[in-house]
Structure 1
Amino acid sequence: MASHTDIVSKRTPLDDASLEHGVLSQTGHKNMLHLIHLRWLAVLGQIATILVATLVLGIHLPMAKMITVLVVLIAFNAGSHLRWHDETTVTNQALFLALMVDVATLTALLYFSGGTNNPFAFLFLLQVTLSAVLLKASSAWLFMLITTYCLAFLSVFHEPLELPPTSAHLMPSLYLQGLLVCFILIAALLVFFITRISSNLRAGDAYLANIRQRAVEEEHIVRMGLLASGAAHELGTPLATMAVILNDWKHMPLFRDDPDLQADLEDLQTQLIRCKGIVSGILMSAGETRGESSRRTTLKVFVDEVIEQWKQAQPTIEFQLVNRIEQNTPVVFESALKQTMFNLLDNAAEVSPQWVCLEADCQDEQLVLTVSDQGPGFLPEILDNIGKPYNSSKGRPGGGLGLFLAVNVVRTLGGTLTASNRVAGGAQVRIQLPMKSIELSVEKLDVR
């Protein structure tokens, strides 16, 4: 019989190297998209510069050659946009080649427009800066050497600018104006692009830290599961022995003729049955079984029966159930989810024996379970660290594990667990589980 924990146990611990590689690839994909957008801006800027130089300043440029270069760049950028829209893994080599295309294009345009005499030759600094941010150190140094060679090449080989005779004396002024425009362009693009890249890097680091934290928590759960499974095996025999003895006592004249002792025996048997159920649930969650099998029912009946079992174990608690579930959705008693509900209700009953409430509802294709109490509520530091082990204000060893396990069970099922303090006083814990996720996990159970 397969169980929910079988599915969870197949998730191997995360390998730090592969995880970091995946996160860096996702960050590289975002950076590649930013580079594509920046290239479109560069194309528009180059077209505008060519038009101003020819139509306004009257500078003669080899239009056919420069337009050819721009057409090639536009075609490359369109192809890059189509490719990297679907392909999400971007390597350092891919970013290096993309930047090399930009350098080659800039070199060709400067070659046809005065070489290093063109103030826009300083755009090479923009390319070098981007390479230092986007590429690995070795690739960035190689890129710097290539751009240096391109700039040295342009200082010797280039087609001179052909200025109209009437504006030849304005050349120094035009150079300074072009230099100012180039500086403003480089500064604006660097601020825009590097802030975007920094945001991507911070988001990637935060995501990586979150995944690593989850890996640590899952490893902690695995260790706890092994200990719980071993304890459940050890408890099986004494519980069976106690059940036999209690059954014999019920038929002994001493106990049979005393109503008070008979009632005590009934209470003991009830608690013993609950203990056996907990042990069975632990072993089922560990992929084992003690003979009990899961049973199909409806979602509404599942909630009602789980609450009935909990009320039998806590007969002195003032309990209120608000079950708004009306769908007859087929489900299977999931031991992990059932134990999660028991843990939350037990925590609420411990701090608020005078009143505990469970609300069950289906909203927007989600199962919503809300446990409320009238206790002192959560401390702010507890709310800030919901889901972390040993996060408890009870001050006893092992405190906080119930809520920690509840968070991880709900998260494994694709849902969320949130905690808050009620306005009227007390605490409130809400579970939201997607119905599809529950049904999917149910389908993976082998119910006999």
Structure 2
Amino acid sequence: MPTQPTRSLLPPETGAPHVRLGTLVNLRWLALAGQFITVLAAHLLLDLDFAFGLCLLAIGTGAVANLTTSATHPANTRLPERGTFAFLLFDLVQLSALLSLTGGLNNPFALLFMAPVTISATSLSLRSTMTLGAIGIALISLVGGYHLPLRLPDGAALELPDLNLIGFWIAIVIGMVFLSAFAFRLTLETERMSNALLATQTALAREQKLHDLGGVVAAAAHELGTPLATIKLVSSELAEDLADRPAQREDAELIRSQADRCRDILQSMGRAGKADRQVRSAPLEAVLVEAAEPHSDRGIAIAYSWAPQGDGTDRMPRIQRLPEVIHGLRNLIQNAVDFAASEIWIDGRWTADEIVVRIIDDGAGYPPEVLNRLGDPFLRSPRRLGYDGMGLGLFIAKTLLERTGATLSFANGTAGGRRPPARGGAIAEAVWPRARIGAATGALGENTRLSE
């Protein structure tokens, strides 16, 4: 049956990533300082013969570009993708010019070609990174074939054998591809994890607000109970006194009916009473039913089962009504309902030391290729066709429930490759130490106002 569209918990896409200009400027200054020191040392200390003046001109060009950029844009400017690409492309061209003046691939500092492409992989899109990498490979190939020689003090050219040059070129290209791919993948995983954690925090904040709102409504219902009762009493007396005046009597009865309506609305919106300590905990059964309630009318039957296990007592334990627990279990139940054929089972078990909740469906089970990765964000399986989920539901559930001390595990109910007649689909199990989630026994204590 069709379901209502839900609002995404992730922040909206901003299109191109934005990089702080000051960071790129500082990195360029660091590179220019290293180039200047290296060129100066090679000319004065090693007495190598190369185009020293042209090298200073290439370095000076980079310095002028940096000064111009700093003068025209604040350091905290966020560059769009095109601006960052142009910035890094200039660095590649400037480095190519410097290497072409100092021996090309015979210069061991040709390894620095990998730096701009690696930086691009951490801040630009895959398309921009691949474009910059292709330009870098073309430039390093051009520098390898066309460059001014680097000569020793006796005039001999400092050149590597052709086989070494080819090997050095291959090493630079492989290093460029490997480092940029690794940096891009690591940055992508970090960004995904940040978005997933943001979604988790948003979901928890939403659940906490709903929980707090219920308490506010409960307090309002309690505090307004007495004045509403007074209004009803007075209006009833007025209606009796105005028996011979139909118009005024009708107004008095209207006031009484509206007072009754206000009372009914407040009672339907929240629990009666103040911030009752009793509502901070509930039997395990009540918490599981509350978590499953939003999915009870989606056409999938939900069966509950409660029983002690092992050395557990016969009495059902009370647990804390934490927003993390309710929202985490709700996500697990939603996942079961999404993939169930006709029914899911919610089992509550307990011992003297543990509380166990199992959620089982009669669907096809978890795809084996992702079973060991369940709980990771942005996890997709090609076998679940027609499903656009990104694995955030299980990730949020795992994060929230583990925050309360639970240990989550996922399995399939199939045995020997054959499906049992029932309860043979996906199984999600959460196990808590009873001391972490169990409610304190004994007197509840006095109720307090919400403002305290």
> What is the TM-score normalised by the length of structure 2?
0.42
Q: Which has the higher contact order (CA 8 A, sep 6+)?
A: 1
Higher helix share: 1
TM-score (norm 1): 0.42
